Amino acid sequence: MTLTPDHSRTLEGKSALVTGAASGIGRATSLLFAREGASVLLTDLNETAGRRVEREITEAGGRAMFEGADVTVSEDCRRIAQLAMEQFGGPQILLNNAGIMRRASVVELSEPDWDRVMDVNVKAIFLMSREVIPWMERAGGGSIINTASGWGLVGGPRAAAYCASKGAVVLLTKAMAIDHGPHRIRVNCICPGDTDTGMLRAEAGQLGEDERHFLDGAARRPLGRVGRPEEIAQAALYLASEASSFVTGAALVVDGGGLAGPM
């Protein structure tokens, strides 16, 4: 044996497609994937912020391209997948990360809000994956990572549509893992706990709570703090890379111990 560690970048030569790439976990993961050698096709509704992420990556010497899209629209998903193929080949890695939160009980929730949460958080995964999987099959494999949530495994207050959508993501992940494992496509999801992103801070507003008080509550977990987007990105990198070559159908909980049990 030799003790020489492998210094090559983890995703050298790979092509990745990231939805919801303009901010939060999607942005942090795109930056990390690019740093690890991947070419990253970024997409998001927010074009201004998306182009900023593209610039961050390219100015640091990485390869990235942003293209605006609404991933709840099938034509948009087809266009984005085609673009990823044309620009960078592949993709061998798909991070279905676009997501929204509506803090409301079923009584408070409007029907359009229900539909929007389900479309962005769940249907977009279906729409994007069905574009990408045939290419992955032909290329001999790939890794799909879906952003679920701790609230895809347990319920939470005033988050009915979000919990329903994220629970669906966890089981959609397992179903896809079963269907496409024989083609060497691995499908896993991440279940982050509260992470310091714009979405988390916006929740305080939706609940009519003071932001500081809300964030203090979010930090109440064994590690005593909320997560950083970069920490969730590391989990996505593990699932995207060959380091997880025997992992599929898994829900990787990254939550500072929030789901371990009541403290």
Q: Among residues 161 and 253, whose Cβ is nearest to another protein?
A: 253
CB of 26 to another protein, least distance (A): 17
Kindly state the tokens that stand for 24. Answer: 């939060």
What is the C-alpha to C-alpha distance for residues 237 and 145, in angstroms, rounded to an integer? 9
Task: Tell me whether residue 205 or residue 257 sits nearer to another protein (CB atom).
Answer: 257
The answer to whether 197 contacts another protein (rule: CB under 8 A) is no
Distance CA 138, CA 132 (A): 10
> Could you tell me the smallest distance in angstroms from the CB atom of residue 66 to another protein?
26
> CA-CA distance, 101 to 98, in Å (whole number)?
11
Which x/- pattern over 175-194 shows residues binding another protein (rule: CB under 8 A)? x-xx-xxx-x-x------x-
Angle of CA points 234, 237, 238, to nearest 5°: 90
The residue among 68 and 249 lying less far from another protein, judged by its C-beta, is: 249
Which of 174, 199, 206, 209 touches another protein (CB under 8 A)?
A: 174
Query: How are beta strands 93-96 and 185-192 bridged, if at all?
Result: unpaired
Residue 249 touching another protein (CB under 8 A): yes
Catalytic residue among 33, 66, 162, 214: 162
Query: At 188, which amino acid appears?
Result: N
User: Is 238 annotated in the active site?
Assistant: no
- How far is the C-alpha of 11 from the C-alpha of 54, rounded, in Å? 18
12 binds another protein (CB under 8 A): no
* Tokens found for residue 125: 């995964």
Query: Is 50 or 152 the residue whose CB approaches another protein more closely?
Result: 152
Task: Rank residues 122 and 254 by Cβ distance to another protein and give the closer one.
Answer: 254
| Element housing 54 (H / E) | helix 47-59
Specify the stretch interacting with another protein by CB under 8 A; choose among 2-10, 38-46, 62-70, 121-129.
2-10
* Residue span binding another protein (CB under 8 A) among the ranges 100-108, 116-124, 128-136, 235-243: 235-243
- Residue 23 CA neighbour count, 13 Å, CB half: 14
139 CB burial (10 A radius; 0-12, 13-18, 19+): middle
Helix axes 160-180, 111-118, angle to 10 degrees: 30
Distance CA 104, CA 157 (A): 8
The secondary structure element, H or E, covering residue 172 is helix 160-180
Q: At closest approach, how far in Å is the CB of 107 from another protein?
A: 33
**Min dist. Cβ of residue 80 to another protein (A):** 27
Query: x/- string (CB under 8 A) for another protein, residues 103-142?
Result: ----------------------------------------
Tokens of 139: 């290329």
Q: Which residues are catalytic?
A: 162
Residues that bind another protein (CB under 8 A): 1-5, 174-175, 177-178, 180-182, 184, 186, 193, 195, 221-224, 227-228, 231-232, 234-235, 237-238, 243-261, 263
